Each structure stands twice: as C-alpha cells, then as structure tokens.
C-alpha cells in the first residue's frame, strides 16, 4: 500500500484525536504552567540529601530531562525510579516527588506509601486521582497539572513543574531569558512542522518519510541528549506504534556498535537518528562521526538532527519537540491514529481480569500514567 502524501487532509483523516494540536500546544504549556506556579509556587524546602522522582512513562521523562540539564548545578544527587519500590537510599533526609499524570498509577501510589513509611519527605505532581487525594489527606504539598491529555502529551507542564521545584530547592534555574527563548523557538518549530506545511521545508515530515518502514535507534550523547533519545523512543513507540531503541555515546561504542554485523539482512530495515549539537566535548563529537560511518558501511541508514536556539534549554526542548512531530507523521505514514495505546489498554485489562491488581492492590485497568 503506498504511503499517504502527508498532506494536511491525510494527517487530519488519520490523526482523529488531534495529537498534532497537542504537540503544537507545547509553547502554551510552558507559558501556562509557569504562570500557574507563579501564583501557587512550590513551598521552600531544606536541601534534601537526595531528590528522587517516582513515576512511569510520560510522567517520568521530565525528570530525566531536568536532572540532566541541572546536573552541573545541583548540590544533591538525584534519581528516577520507574518501578514500585524505592532503592535503599530513599529515607529520612531524602525528598520524593511522586509524579503521576492521572494520579492513579499503581507503581507511583506504591512509591508514595513507601516513601511515607520510610520517613522521606514527599511532594506530588498530578491532575488528581488517588494520589492527589492521599496527598491532600496527608498534608503533602501537591501541584496540579491540567487534565484531559494523554500523559505523554503533557510533558511541557511537567518539565516546567519540576524545573520550578528544583528552584525551590535552591537551583538557580535556567532563567527567564532561556524560557522565553524556548517558547519562541518552539512556536517557530510548530509553524514549520504543522500539518499544513508541505514536506519540502517541513523537517518532521521529511525525517518521517526517511524513517518509514524501519526500526529506529535514536543515539544521543551523555547528558541531556540521552534523555532526549529516551523520549524519542517512547514517542515512536506510543505515537507511531513502531519499534524504537535508544543508545548513548560513548557507551554505545563499547558494546552496541559490534551488533551491526551478524544480522546484515535486517540492516535495510533499520535506521539510526543521531542527536547532534549537544555533545559535551570534541572527542564525543568525533565519536559520533566515526560511529555513523561504521554503521553506514554495514548498510544501515543514518540521519542527523540538530537543535535550534542559543540557550541549552531551548536547544534541548527543540529536539524533544522535533521528535514528537516526527512520531506523529510516522503514525500517519503507517495509517494509525497516534493517540490510542490499545496494547497498553489490553495489558491492563488482562492483568485486572487475572486479579493482578498491581502494587498496593491498585487495579491496573484504572491506572494510566
């Protein structure tokens, strides 16, 4: 079957739940949440011995991004927990942020309860749900997210919320100039990636056309680009319904690169996307160039995407949002509505039917992230 033309009509007919509109709203999410938290800021808190974020999927990726952005500034260690039990370091003196968009995520509810039993401090980020009710009952500081979105489409709200929590803990933050620039860059990107813009001159449509029909590995460098690669992978999974992977340089050069050898018959169905422009050192940048050449010699298609903007914040968010747009157009090329996540829904229903209620007895059928 020939792939659609990616005209605006094609996009609208397949993107029935308007994921395009949700991605285009990224700049407004940033502005709205900064304004909301200016009116109801996080409480000032003592510096924790550890800041631990508990969440799953789209509710956890903000922590990956912000912790990487602030790594050279934060005087305390951080971790992200994507399961239903904390590591031993989470206890008295630590602060746990429980992040669940729905407020009903089974694993995050279990982490909330366990953090309380261990004597760790707690704060909550959610639209409400059981997590919001528990926080309100326990007098735990909670900040709200606007409802009605798939969790993966609310990342702008979550990124701002966590950034301002870090500032409440003493981080000098990115600064108003960087945030204003980021909004401007994302507005411009939304205009150039919009469904009404033709493929020529539309960077997301162009890249999606090059990637269609292939499993994609997104390659970043240590730091923010590693978190961006993870976000791309998740968006390619959930929006485009296609297999995707993430890799990080220089670690990839010590193992994964050897894998592009034995299964050469698969190589025409693979593609690597390298996230350029955020490499920490010239040596890492050189590794990217050499890695790309070696993989291409093995018959694997490669593509390079670069960030936009001057500030690190704008450059990071521009790459994040380019991945969102690319995943949307890959979904259109595959003929699938990007919003539904039928296999996740099926998994939750099967677990509920089997009595596998999840951590803390929470029914996974009613536990979106």
- Claim to verify: residue 111 and residue 206 sit in the same structural domain: no
Please calculate the CA angle 220-182-306 and round it to the nearest 5 degrees.
35
Residue 217 β-bridge partners: 245, 272
* pLDDT > 80? residue 369: no
* Structure-block tokens of residue 321: 């949002």
Judged by average pLDDT, the poorest of 77-86, 177-186, 192-201, 340-349 is 340-349
End residue of a domain, out of 169, 186, 219: 169
- Claim to verify: residue 56 and residue 151 sit in the same structural domain: yes
* pLDDT > 50? residue 160: yes
Judged by average pLDDT, the poorest of 82-91, 247-256, 299-308, 351-360 is 351-360
Strand 141-144: give its sheet, edge to edge. 78-81, 50-54, 94-100, 121-126, 141-144
CA nearest to 162, candidates 55, 14, 7, 235: 55
308-350 pLDDT per residue, tens: 999 999 999 999 999 999 999 999 999 999 999 889 889 888 8
Residue 238: active-site member: yes
Q: What is the number of structural domains in the chain?
A: 2
- The radius of gyration of the chain from alpha carbons, rounded to an integer in Å, stands at 20
Question: Which of these is catalytic: 22, 241, 348, 365?
Answer: 348
Residue 237: active-site member: no
| In a domain? residue 347 | no
Confidence label for 366 from pLDDT (cuts 50, 70 and 90): very low
| In a domain? residue 360 | no
End residue of a domain, out of 169, 184, 216: 169
DSSP helix/strand/coil, 319: helix
Predicted pLDDT of residue 285: 87
- Claim to verify: residue 330 and residue 204 sit in the same structural domain: yes
| In a domain? residue 57 | yes
| In a domain? residue 189 | no
* pLDDT > 90? residue 97: yes
120: containing domain:
48-169
- Using CA atoms, how far residue 297 sits from 185, 261, 272, 293, 303, in Å, is 35, 10, 13, 6, 14
CA nearest to 337, candidates 14, 23, 21, 22: 14
Query: With contact defined as beta carbons under 8 Å apart, do 60 and 99 qualify?
Result: yes
- Claim to verify: residue 206 and residue 321 sit in the same structural domain: yes
* Structure-block tokens of residue 222: 């240590």
- Claim to verify: residue 281 and residue 325 sit in the same structural domain: yes
234-281 pLDDT per residue, tens: 999 999 999 999 999 999 999 999 999 999 999 999 999 999 988 778
- Claim to verify: residue 156 and residue 210 sit in the same structural domain: no
- Claim to verify: residue 218 and residue 300 sit in the same structural domain: yes
Confidence label for 356 from pLDDT (cuts 50, 70 and 90): low
Judged by average pLDDT, the poorest of 45-49, 229-233, 364-368 is 364-368
Residue 221: CATH number of its domain: 3.40.50.10490
* pLDDT > 80? residue 4: no
Query: With contact defined as beta carbons under 8 Å apart, do 193 and 205 qualify?
Result: yes
| In a domain? residue 184 | no
Question: Which of these is catalytic: 114, 174, 181, 238?
Answer: 238
Predicted pLDDT of residue 360: 43
| In a domain? residue 26 | no
| In a domain? residue 276 | yes
Residue 254: active-site member: yes
Predicted pLDDT of residue 358: 53
Judged by average pLDDT, the poorest of 91-100, 101-110, 281-290, 343-352 is 343-352
DSSP code at position 16: T
* pLDDT > 70? residue 2: no
- Claim to verify: residue 219 and residue 265 sit in the same structural domain: yes
41-81 pLDDT per residue, tens: 999 999 999 999 999 987 899 999 999 999 999 999 999 99
Beta strand pairing call for 94-100 and 244-249: unpaired
| In a domain? residue 301 | yes
CA atoms lying within 13 Å on the CB side of residue 15: 26
- Claim to verify: residue 213 and residue 115 sit in the same structural domain: no
- Claim to verify: residue 137 and residue 70 sit in the same structural domain: yes
- Claim to verify: residue 144 and residue 210 sit in the same structural domain: no
Please count the other Cβ atoms lying within 10 Å of the Cβ belonging to residue 253. 17
- Using CA atoms, how far residue 228 sits from 63, 148, 182, 220, 232, in Å, is 11, 24, 16, 7, 6
The chain-wide mean pLDDT, for the chain, equals 94
- Claim to verify: residue 163 and residue 204 sit in the same structural domain: no
């Amino acid at each position: 079957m020939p792939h659609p033309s990616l005209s605006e009509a094609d996009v609208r007919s397949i993107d029935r739940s308007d994921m395009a509109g949700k991605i285009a709203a990224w700049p407004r999410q940033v502005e709205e949440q900064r304004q909301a938290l200016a009116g109801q800021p996080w409480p000032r808190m003592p510096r924790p011995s550890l800041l631990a974020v508990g969440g799953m999927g789209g509710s956890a990726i903000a922590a990956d991004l912000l912790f990487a952005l602030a790594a050279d500034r934060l005087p305390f260690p951080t971790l992200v927990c994507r399961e239903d039990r904390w590591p031993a370091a989470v206890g008295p003196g630590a602060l746990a942020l429980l992040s669940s968009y729905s407020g009903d995520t089974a694993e995050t509810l279990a982490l909330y309860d366990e953090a309380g039993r261990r004597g760790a401090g707690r704060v909550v980020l959610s639209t409400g749900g059981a997590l919001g009710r528990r926080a309100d009952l326990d007098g735990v500081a909670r900040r709200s997210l606007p409802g009605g979105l798939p969790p993966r489409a609310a990342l702008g709200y979550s990124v701002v919320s966590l950034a301002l929590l870090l500032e409440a803990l003493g981080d000098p933050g990115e600064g108003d100039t960087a945030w204003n620039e980021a909004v401007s860059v994302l507005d411009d990107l939304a205009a150039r990636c919009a469904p009404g813009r033709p493929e020529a001159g539309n960077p997301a449509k162009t890249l999606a056309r090059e990637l269609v029909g292939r499993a994609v590995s997104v390659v970043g460098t240590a730091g923010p680009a590693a978190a961006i690669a993870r976000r791309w992978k998740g968006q390619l999974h959930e929006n485009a319904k296609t297999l995707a992977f993430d890799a990080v340089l220089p670690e990839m050069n010590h193992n994964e690169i050897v894998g592009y050898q034995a299964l050469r018959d698969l190589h025409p169905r693979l593609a690597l996307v390298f996230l350029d422009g955020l490499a920490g050192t010239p040596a890492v940048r050189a590794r990217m160039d050499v890695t790309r050449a070696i993989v291409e010699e093995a018959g694997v298609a490669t593509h390079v995407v670069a960030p936009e903007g001057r500030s690190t914040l704008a450059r990071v968010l521009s790459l994040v949002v380019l991945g969102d747009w690319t995943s949307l157009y890959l979904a259109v090329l595959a003929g699938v509505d990007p919003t539904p996540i039928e296999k996740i829904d099926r998994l939750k229903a099967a677990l509920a039917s089997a009595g596998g209620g999840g951590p803390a007895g929470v029914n996974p059928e009613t536990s979106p992230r």
